[in-house]
Chains A and B, each alone.
Chain A
Amino acid sequence: MIARLPAVPHEWIDRTKPIPFTFEGRRFEGLAGDCVTSALWGAGERLLGRSFKYHRPRGVLSLANHDVNAMFQWGPRLNVRGDVTPLEEDMILTAVNTVGGLDADRAALLDHMGAFLPVGFYYKAFHKPKSLFPRWERLFRSTTGLGRVDFGTPRRPMSKRYLHTDVLVVGAGCAGLCAAIAAAESGAQVVLVDENAAPGGSLGYQRGGQVTDTALLDDLLSRAASLPNLDLCLGTFAAGYYADFWVPLVSAMGLTKARSRALIVATGAQEQPAVFRNNDLPGVMLASAAQRLVYRYRVQPMDRAVVLAANRDGYLAALDLAANGVEVAAIVDLRAEGEASEAGAAVSEAGIEVLKGYCVYEGLGGGDRLQSAVVCAMEANGVARTSSSRTLRCDGLVMSVGWAPAAALLYQAGAAMRFDEALQQFVPERLPDGVFAAGRVNGVYPVAQKIADGRFAAWEALAHLGRTSQTRARPVLRDGPRPSHAYPIFEHPKGKNFVDFDEDLQLKDFFNAAQEGFDNIELLKRYSTVGMGPSQGKHSNLNAIRILARIRGEPCGAVGSTTARPLYHPVSLGMLAGRGFSPVRRTPLHSRHEALGAVFMMAGNWLRPEYYRQPRKSRAELIQEEALAVRTAVGLIDVGTLGKLEVRGPDAAKFLEQVYAGCFADMQVGATRYALMVEESGVVLDDGVVARLAPEVFYFTTTTGNAPSIYRELSRWHVLWGLDCGLVNLTGALNGINVAGPCARAVFRAVTGMDVSAAAFPFLAARVGIVAGVEVRVMRVGFVGEVGFEVHVAADHAPAVWDALLQAGHTYGIRPFGVEAQRVLRLEKGHLIVGQDTDGLTQPFDAGLGWAVRMQKPFFVGQRSLAILKERPPKHVLAGFMRETREPMPKEGHLVIEGGAIAGRVTSVAWSGTLGRTVGLAYVAPDLAQPSREIRIRADGGVLLTARVARTPFYDPDGSRQTLGDGEVERHQVESGRAATVAVER
C-alpha cells in the first residue's frame, strides 16, 4: 500500500499505476508520475544521498533540479537527478559518492575532519615532498567525482532538431502562460516550454491552504489548449541563449535548436536557503520543495514542521502544510513586524504560533535526520540572541526566506541586470532587442501582477514582430512586499552552516577566502568553488554575494554576480553530439575502386583509395608495387578530388595574373603551366595547373583539401575586382583520371583518336578531344615524374573512361595506384604538397618555389609582401635528404637537431623502392642545406638518426622520363634502374 494524501486537482501521480523499483538494494514502490525522490520520500526514506566533501547525510532540498546530493547511478547512467527524473519500472538505483553504501558510508568519517579540510586546502598542501604528489593526486582523483562511468555503454544516437517559431516563451508558470496565451491570441506562432512535467509553476503548488482551488490555473490551461498556434512543450528546458535567438531546448527526446523572432523569459525564481548550523539535515528543505511534495506527488513531507519565513510565501507554505496533515509547530519569522497580509491573518486564524524577529540558530538531528530546531530571538543587527533560545521538536523545517531570479538566459542574451534593494534581487535593467522578461525573473511576485506582466511581455514581443502598432504604458509592478530577506545567514561557533550544498562550503569558508584576498566575486568563486558544483550555484550564488557584500561593507549590487554560461542544466554528450553529420564526398569512380579492392582513406572530406588490397601482401608491399608499376609500365589514378575551376571571358587571363604568382597572359592556347597562389601575407596558399583551352577560357586545378576555400576566395576577388569574366566551379561536375608511366602514351593512344605523339602532344600541353567516345580535356602533366595524361571528363562518363583505360592498359600491365604510391612517386621527384610540405608561415622562397613567382608583374595578391620577404635571408629552406636504410625511418614532424638545438623538421619521408633509399623533405637552417651535409633527426624514443642532404629531384633529375617519345619507352624501361642509380649518386 502506498500512502499518499487524498487526491487533489492537478496532482501529477497516477494512483492506478504502481511502479516497483530498487534503491540501495531494497525494493520500493512508487506511482506513475512520481520522480525518484518523491517515491522514496513517500516511502519514508529520509536519507537520499551523501554530500560531496564531508559525506554528510542529505535529503530533499529544492525538488527543482538542483538537489545534487540526491543523485543516483542507474545502470550506465550516472548522476541521475532524483528530484526531476521520472520514476520508471524496475529502476535499480544506488546513491553516488558513497564508500560501502549509503547507510554505512565509510567516508562519512570525513565529516569529523572538517577542521583539517578548509576551503582551498588542496592549494596549500601536498606540494612537499614532491615525490608524494602523484600519490596524493591518485587519492584525490579516486575520492572526487560523482558516479561511475561505464565506457562500454553503447551509444544511443539522439537526433537533433530545428524548430522555428515567432515567439518562444520559456517557463509555463503564471506569467509565461499569460504571455504565451496573449501572443498566440494575436495570431503569432508560439512555443511555450517548461522543464516540469506539467505546466502552472507555483500556481500548482503554492495554494496557501486552498487545497482544491485551482480556478486560475484551470482557466489558463483551458485557454492555452484552445489555441492551435500555441505549442506547449513540457519536460523541456531551455539550456542557453546563443546569438540571433538560438535557444537549445533539451528534453528526453533530445536536443532541439529553437529559433524565434522574439523571446520571452518567464523562468521564475529559485527559492534560496537560509544559512544556519545543520541546515543540511534531511528534513530541512525549501518551502517550495515541501509544497511540491504535497501538491504534485501528494506526499506528506513531514509530520511536524517548523517554518522559517521572511516573506508571505512562508505563511502560504505553513497554510499548505497545515491543510495537508502536517502539524506546524511554529512560524519563525525573521522579520520583527511579521506578515501583515491576508496570509498572516489566516495563519493566526489557524492557531499557528508565530515567533516574530526570531531565527533558526541550528538544527539538531539524530539517526541521519532532523529531530528539532533551536530558535532564537534576533538582535537588531541580525545576530541570534542565544540566551533566548527555544528548542522546537520537529521532523521537518521548511525555509522561505527569499528567491533568486532564474535569469541565466537573460544574462546570456546580454541583459544588463541591477540589484534592486527593495526586492533584494537582481532584476533586468536593460534587455536586448526582442528579448523580454516576465514574472518573478522580472522581480514581479503577486499573482495579479504576474498576469499583467506576462501580458505586457507578450505585447512587447508582438510590437517587436510588427504585429501591433498600439502603444501601451508599462504597468506599475514590483511594488509588492519584499519577497527576499537581505541576510538570512546566521553564524554559529561550531560551523556546519552550509552556503553551498554541492561543495559543502560553510559560512566560515567565505570569511577565510576573503581574508586570504579572494574578495572579488569571480576570485571568490574560483578559490572557494562556490557555484561550481553540479547545480552551478542555483541555491548558493546569491547567498555568496550577500556574504561577500557584508564582508566588503558594500551593497550587493556593487559586488555583482558571476557569469552564467550555457548550458543551464547538464546536457548529455550524446545529446550534444546528436546524429553526427560528417559529409563525405566520393568520386564517380568509387564503385570501381571498391571492386578493385581499394582501401580508402580520408583526404579532406573525400574518400580516396589509399592503396589496392591483394591477398597475402602487406600494405607497404602493395604501395611499393603500385609505385614500381608506374615507374616501369603504367599506372592509373583517380584524381577527381582535385579542385577544378574554369574562368571565361575577356578578362580571364588578367584574373589569373592577379590571383596567382605566375604569368598566364602569355600562355599559348593548348598549353599548361604550374600555378602558385599566395595569401596577401605572402604565405603559400595553394598550387595547381592552369590550362589555356581557348583565348578566353582557362581551366585550372587546385589541391584537394583547399578546393572549396579557394573557390570562395576567388569568388570574393572576382566580385571585388569587377573583371569581365566568369568563374565556374566544376569540381563535382568533372572527374580527373591520370594515366602515367613509360607505357602511358601507348595506353592512351588505344582509347582516343587524338594525335598523342610526343611531337603533337608534348609535355605540358593541353588538348580537348574524344576519349572512349566521350568529350574530355587532357593535360600532359607529370606530378609523378613519368609520361602522364590527365583526363578530365564529365562525372557521369568517368567510369566509362576509367574502364576503357584499364582495358587498354591490360597488355601493358596497367595497375591502379592509390594516394600512398602517388606520395612516394612525387617525393622521388621532390614535388612538394601544399599543406604537408608547407605550413601557415611558409613563403615561396623558403620552399624553393621562387621560380614560380613573377615579381615583375604589375600586381598579384601577396606581391607586396613577397617583395619585402624576398630581400630577407630565409630562416629555413626546404631541402631533400636521404638515408641508406629503410629502418628506422624518421617520421613526418620529427625535428632536425643541430648543436643540441632545433634546426628544422621533417615534412615528408618515404621508402623509395625505385631508389633503394629512404628519401624525404625537411625544413632546415640554410647553412645545413648543402648537398651531402649530414643532418641529425630526432626520431621516436629520442634516437638521433643521421641523414644526408641531397638535391631534388631524387629521381630522374633532368626530367627526361616525362618527355619520353614512342621509341624510347623500351630503352628507358631497361634503363630505369640505372637512371635511379645515377640520381642517388648525385
Chain B
Amino acid sequence: MLTAAAVAHGLRAMESVGLVDLSSLARFGLKGPGAESALKLLGVALPAEPNRWVAVDGGGLVARLGRSEFLLEDGIGGGSVHRVRESLADGAPGVYPMPRQDLALALVGSQVQALWDQTCSFDLREFALTPGLVVMTTMIGVSVTVVQAECGGRAGFRIWCDGTFGSYFFETLLEIARELQGGAAGICDLIPEAQSLVAG
C-alpha cells in the first residue's frame, strides 16, 4: 500500500533525478529478415529506419535496434507485446524471437544531465538533433539502449540493460542520484494510472 510519505519521497526524488524501475512492463524482441513484415502483419507501427523509435497506443513503444531487429514494450495497460509474443514466440520463417529480461528504467528530473555526465560518454545533445533517436551505448560499463521520451508527463530518458546487471546498475545510479538529492521513485509516482493496476 502506498503511503503519503512514500509518494512524497518519490515525487521529491523526481524533482532532482528520479530512478523509476519499469522492468515489470511487458516487452519482447524480434529479429530476422521476416521480422518487419511479421510485425506489420500484426498491425504494429514501426519506425522507418534503424536506431529510431515510435510511441504506440497505451504508452508503449517500438524501437528499431537495427535493420531487422525490434524491441517492443507496452505501457501501463497496453497489450501489443502480449499479442505479438503469442503470435511469434515460437518464431516464424525469418523471424527469430528474442525474449527480453531487461532492467528497464526511467530517468526523470532536472538533474538527469548531471547524473548522465558522471555515467555515460554519449552526448545527450544528439537527442535534440535527431528526434526519435535510439542510442546503444555503455553506461557505467554496461551496454544500454537509451531513448529520450516523456515518462508520465515528465521529460526524461528510458534505459534498458541486461537484467543480470540490474542490481549493479540500479544501485550505482541510485548512489549518484542520491548525491544529487534525487533517488528512487515508484512506478505509481511516475505514472499514477499504474496505481489502479497495482491495487487491482
Contacts and interface: CB of A to CB of B under 8 A. Distances in A.
A588 B168 CA distance: 13
A582 B167 CA distance: 12
B141 interface: yes
Interface in A630-660: 640, 646, 648-649
B142 A583 contact: yes
Given A583-B168, A649-B94, A257 B121 contact: yes
Interface string A582-616: 11111110100000000000000010000000000
Binding site secondary structure of chain B: mixed
Given A159-B176, A649-B32, A733-B100, A587 B164 contact: yes
Interface string B26-45: 00000110000000000000
Contacts of A160: 118
A796 B101 contact: yes
Contacts of B31: 726, 728
B162 interface: yes
Given A163-B117, A697-B91, A794-B101, A732 B141 contact: no
B166 interface: yes
Given A159-B118, A160-B118, A733-B100, A582 B141 contact: yes
Nearest to A730: B99
Interface string A551-593: 0000000000000000000000000000101111111101000
A796 B23 CA distance: 11
B124 to A, nearest CB: 8
Contact of A795 (B32, B101, B169, B172): B101
Interface string B158-185: 0000111111110010001001000000
Nearest to A583: B141
Contact of B101 (A159, A728, A732): A732
A732 B163 contact: yes
A257 B123 CA distance: 12
A794 B99 contact: yes
A159 B178 CA distance: 13
A733 B168 CA distance: 17
A162 B94 contact: no
A893 B34 CA distance: 51
A795 B103 CA distance: 12
Contact of A259 (B32, B123, B165): B123
Contacts of B96: 646, 648-649, 726, 728
Contacts of A646: 96
A161 interface: yes
Given A586-B164, A648-B91, A162 B141 contact: no
A164 interface: yes
B99 to A, nearest CB: 5
B167 A586 contact: yes
Interface residues of B, number: 34
B46 to A, nearest CB: 18
A639 B116 CA distance: 34
Interface in B94-151: 94, 96-102, 116-121, 123-125, 140-142
A164 B101 contact: no
A476 B9 CA distance: 63
Nearest to A795: B101
A977 B97 CA distance: 47
Contacts of A583: 140-142, 165, 168-169
A802 B130 CA distance: 45
B164 A726 contact: no
A584 B32 contact: no
A795 B163 contact: yes
B163 A161 contact: no
Given A159-B176, A582-B141, A164 B166 contact: no
A646 B95 CA distance: 13
B91 A259 contact: no
B99 A734 contact: yes
A352 B120 CA distance: 60
Contacts of B119: 581
A581 B172 contact: yes
Contacts of B94: 649
Interface in A448-507: none
A716 to B, nearest CB: 15
Given A586-B164, A732-B163, A795-B101, A164 B123 contact: yes
A259 B123 CA distance: 9
Nearest to B120: A162
A160 B114 CA distance: 11
Interface in B5-30: none
Contacts of A164: 123-125
Nearest to B139: A581
Contacts of A726: 31-32, 96
Given A726-B96, A730-B99, A162 B168 contact: no
Contacts of A640: 164
A189 B100 CA distance: 39
**Which 5 pairs, one residue from A and one from B, show the smallest C-beta to C-beta distance?**
A726-B96, A732-B162, A164-B123, A583-B141, A795-B101
24 contacts: A159-B118, A162-B120, A164-B123, A259-B121, A259-B123, A579-B118, A581-B172, A584-B168, A586-B168, A588-B101, A588-B163, A588-B164, A649-B32, A649-B94, A726-B31, A728-B96, A728-B97, A728-B98, A732-B101, A732-B164, A732-B165, A733-B98, A733-B99, A734-B101
Given A588-B163, A732-B163, 18 more contacts: A162-B116, A164-B124, A259-B121, A581-B172, A582-B141, A583-B141, A583-B142, A583-B165, A586-B167, A648-B91, A649-B94, A726-B32, A726-B96, A732-B164, A733-B100, A733-B101, A794-B101, A796-B101
